[in-house]
Chains A and B, each alone.
Chain A
Amino acid sequence: MNDFNSDRDLEADVRAELRRTILPPAAPQYLRDRVEEMSEQLSTGPGRPPSFRLWIGRGALVLRLAAT
């Protein structure tokens, strides 16, 4: 066992390990599409469309398919 000599060593270790292990992917295309849809709906209409909440979340695709 090799203790950290200082808080600075510990911080450096945590920083290096986080950067090595947490490697998030880029935002998926469907997320970009939904954010784009959201922008169009909310910026062009007078207010928030009643069905807006249905388009948010992981269930969105199912709801979308069910509605068509």
Chain B
Amino acid sequence: MTNETSDEAFAALTRRQIDSAYRLAWAILGDSGDADDATQEAFASAWRHRRSLRDPGRFDAWFGRILVNECRQRLKRRARERIRPLAELADPAVSDASGHISACDAVSRAIARLDADHRIVVILRYWADLSVDEIGARLDVPSGTVKSRLHYALRSMRPRLEDAR
């Protein structure tokens, strides 16, 4: 297979992923501007490292790892810079015509108070419906670590959700 053919096949794989990649980035980051940037940077990174993809059949998991890592870095950068604290991510301002996170929603607010690692596992598990093993592969951590993060995240969310009931 020539490089040109490989790149063509790779381009087709990336095109197929644009919507799902953008939606996941949006779900994790809660902001369309950041989702735009994260998605573009993930595709750029995927192109730069495309030779490391040995099996095109594993593109989804391979690209998913790149995308989630990009989102994670952005969440951590935000928290570090304290420009937009995680606690404000899902608060009132987030709203547009095609999708929104309600300000009065207890789950959204509880998730917004989680740090980057815990927020990501919650979104991947309960919104994207990935298995614990799939999440481990996306984050490059053992399944036990994923379970532990989920347990911690739910434990810290529980009081807020119970109060809202």
Contact = CB atoms under 8 A, between A and B. Distances in A.
Q: How many residues of B sit at the interface, in one of the four size bands? A: 35 or more
A52 to B, nearest CB: 8
Interface in A23-68: 23-28, 31-32, 34-36, 38-39, 42-44, 48, 52, 56-58
B69 interface: no
B15 interface: yes
A7 B48 CA distance: 42
A13 B7 contact: no
Interface of B: 4, 7-8, 10-11, 14-15, 18-19, 21-24, 26-27, 32-33, 35-37, 39-41, 43-44, 47-48, 96, 98-102, 105-108, 111, 122-123, 126-127, 129, 154, 157-158, 161-163, 165
7 contacts: A7-B154, A15-B126, A18-B127, A23-B99, A26-B23, A39-B14, A56-B40
